[in-house]
Chains A and B, each alone.
Chain A
Amino acid sequence: MSTTLKRVHGYLAEFDSVKDLYHAAEHVRDAGYQRWDVHSPFAIHGMDDAMGNPRSKLPMFVFCGGITGTTVAFTLETITQTNFWSHIGLGFLQKIVETYPTVVQGKPTDIWTLPAFFPVMFELTILFSAFTTLFGLLALIGLPRWNHPLFVSKNFSKFSDDGFFVCIEARDPKFSQEGTKSLLEKAGGKNIELVEDEI
């Protein structure tokens, strides 16, 4: 008799094709499950709708990241090279850093030298947006992590080759040992297994 403690991760069901997976996703969505996911070797167009996923929050993060990039570039450049901040009554900011106007081609040292700063503002906007996209995405999908309970299932390794899977997690409020299993069976799932993770 084994003494290892195990925790139920959820039910894993395999499907034969994209079409079956798509319809199964619609079934699970309509049954009102929240904590579940589909796994396929490639992206499937329209799967977001079939799963009933809301729109990602990522664009908002990226927008904020971009705005931050523009602001940082603008502030850095104007504070070190122009007297713009003194003009708007925030001269103390310019005392923190040493202002050193670089006069090139007789260009002014006030806000109207702005065109010279555009390239840096543009680049930092892109850089910050790119960083927020990457790290925001990693945060939202919960990566990096050491392991995933689904890797316990031997059958699941097919997900990166030719397997199409639906996994309904046990932490879903609607999850029940009998009900969830019969739902997956009704949706046409094969090789349904209860995935248990060692604690």
Chain B
Amino acid sequence: MSHHVTFKDLPQGGEKFEPAKGGKLIGTLGLFGLLGIAASAYFFFTSTDTFAYSWLFAVFFTFTFVVGGCFWILLHSASNSSWGVAVRRIWENLANMVVPLAIFASPLLLTAVNKPLYEWMGHHRTAAEHAAHADHPTTVKQALHHMAEDNPHLHVLVTKFGYMNLTNGFSWYSRFVAYFLILWFIARTLRGKSLQQEQDGDIKHTIWSRQFSCIVLLPFALIVTFAAYDWLVGLDYNWFSTMWGVYIFAGCAWASMAVSILVVTWLRGLGYLQKVVTDEHYHLMGKLLFAFTVFWAYISFSQYFLIWYANITEETRFYLIRNTEGWRAVSIFILLGHFIVPFLFLLSQKRKKNPVVISLGCLWILFMHLVDIYWNVIPERGPSLGIGVWVAGAWVQDIAALCAVFGTMSWLYLRGLAKYSLYPWRDPRLIESVNVIN
């Protein structure tokens, strides 16, 4: 209450970020990205099968942040909140990283890459061949059904044919393209409105965004769910879990909030956002982080609990391979590091309000999110390719892919911050956000 900030205290035209000021971090990320891409190209040609998993892991890990950024603007607009106006541009830019992400994800469309990842595609392609060479007109589904006589495991593919297929209008490929197009449409529209508001400062853009967000929240939720099913659950076509979409979503929201806190702290360290973001914002964002720590734990435990108790063969396989050898230690580490440590850390208001302390916590959260996604994708590699539980030396490929995708994307993201003002400076509710008390 000591100092009430008004529009007069803030610079006209907002604050423009100069990438040269943050050159150290941006340069390092760019270098990692470059080295990663070079190494990735090498691994892509020398060990495509194992590297496909590394690439999927890196792409999906980055994808979660884009989705999370999109979610936070949608939620912020749909719930008619004003507290987050000061940090909204960070999310808008995060969500708009969907375009370069689509480029990084496109190798997954290559048969050479998705063949080692998704066994069901192999079976479908064999079935398609059979259908093409059959004596009488046969559909792919009929051919698949025929194959299931020799291999009973394939029956599940026949029953899942409506969703898991490669040819029709709702195929894996068309969904893949649709996810990126719709996400891009949402992210672009919302940032577009926000930028239009910087021209005229009219509240009608805020109201329009609110209505738009309410409408697209449902398609957005479906996209996250289906993408998570297509790319990760599809790794084992027998497995299914109704919790999966929510589980991935919880991780997305959690990790992207941690990233926004880190970016805000970094920008403040460089001298930006000094008057706009206060420790009240850190407190609010920390509280959301706390909420999603608990939400993630609740959802992931619910998924585990039901599968563990019911003990059905098709379902338990997922946890069986993650409870074998070294993966068991990783599973227990996730329980401690992904839930218990952040939970206790984020309990205190003092720690949430201290930018340095909460940022250190966010680094930990980022690391745990990385472990979580790694634990979801990589254990499938050995058993699927038939080369043991733990693939020796493959971690180098994982790091290469991570550097290539995440390094380059971070480099692009931080440089992209310079394009617009760091906060929507003509949003009528900016002052309300700057002076927020909770």
> CB within 8 Å of B: which residues of A?
45-46, 49-50, 55, 63, 104-106, 115-116, 118-119
Contact of A116 among B309, B311, B349 (CB under 8 A): B309
Q: A115, B308: Cβ atoms under 8 Å? A: yes
Docked CA distance A118–B306 (Å): 12
Docked CA distance A115–B347 (Å): 24
B-chain residues with CB within 8 Å of residue A119 when the two chains form the complex: 305
Contact of A115 among B1, B305, B437 (CB under 8 A): B305
B-chain residues with CB within 8 Å of residue A115 when the two chains form the complex: 301, 304-305, 308-309
Q: Given that A45-B437, A118-B301 are contacting pairs, would A106 and B308 also be in contact in the complex, using a CB cutoff of 8 Å?
A: no
Q: A50-B1, A105-B309, A118-B305 are in contact. List 15 more A-B contacts (CB 8 A).
A: A45-B437, A46-B1, A46-B437, A49-B1, A55-B349, A63-B347, A105-B310, A105-B311, A106-B311, A115-B301, A115-B305, A115-B308, A115-B309, A118-B301, A119-B305
Q: Jot down 5 A-B pairs with beta carbons below 8 A, ordered by A.
A: A50-B1, A55-B349, A105-B311, A106-B311, A119-B305
Docked CA distance A119–B301 (Å): 10
A-chain residues with CB within 8 Å of residue B437 when the two chains form the complex: 45-46
Docked CA distance A163–B310 (Å): 61
CB distance from A128 to the nearest CB of B (A): 16
CB distance from A66 to the nearest CB of B (A): 10
CB distance from B320 to the nearest CB of A (A): 14
Q: CB-nearest residue of chain A relative to B347?
A: A63
A-chain residues with CB within 8 Å of residue B347 when the two chains form the complex: 63
CB distance from A179 to the nearest CB of B (A): 27
Q: CB-nearest residue of chain B relative to A45?
A: B437
Q: CB-nearest residue of chain B relative to A22?
A: B1
Near A by CB (< 8 A), chain B positions 380-438 give: 437
B-chain residues with CB within 8 Å of residue A45 when the two chains form the complex: 437
B-chain residues with CB within 8 Å of residue A55 when the two chains form the complex: 349
CB distance from A63 to the nearest CB of B (A): 7
Docked CA distance A50–B437 (Å): 14
CB distance from A33 to the nearest CB of B (A): 20
A-chain residues with CB within 8 Å of residue B308 when the two chains form the complex: 115
Docked CA distance A104–B301 (Å): 19
Near A by CB (< 8 A), chain B positions 298-346 give: 301, 304-305, 308-311
Near A by CB (< 8 A), chain B positions 233-283 give: none
Docked CA distance A119–B304 (Å): 12
Q: CB-nearest residue of chain A relative to B308?
A: A115
B-chain residues with CB within 8 Å of residue A46 when the two chains form the complex: 1, 437
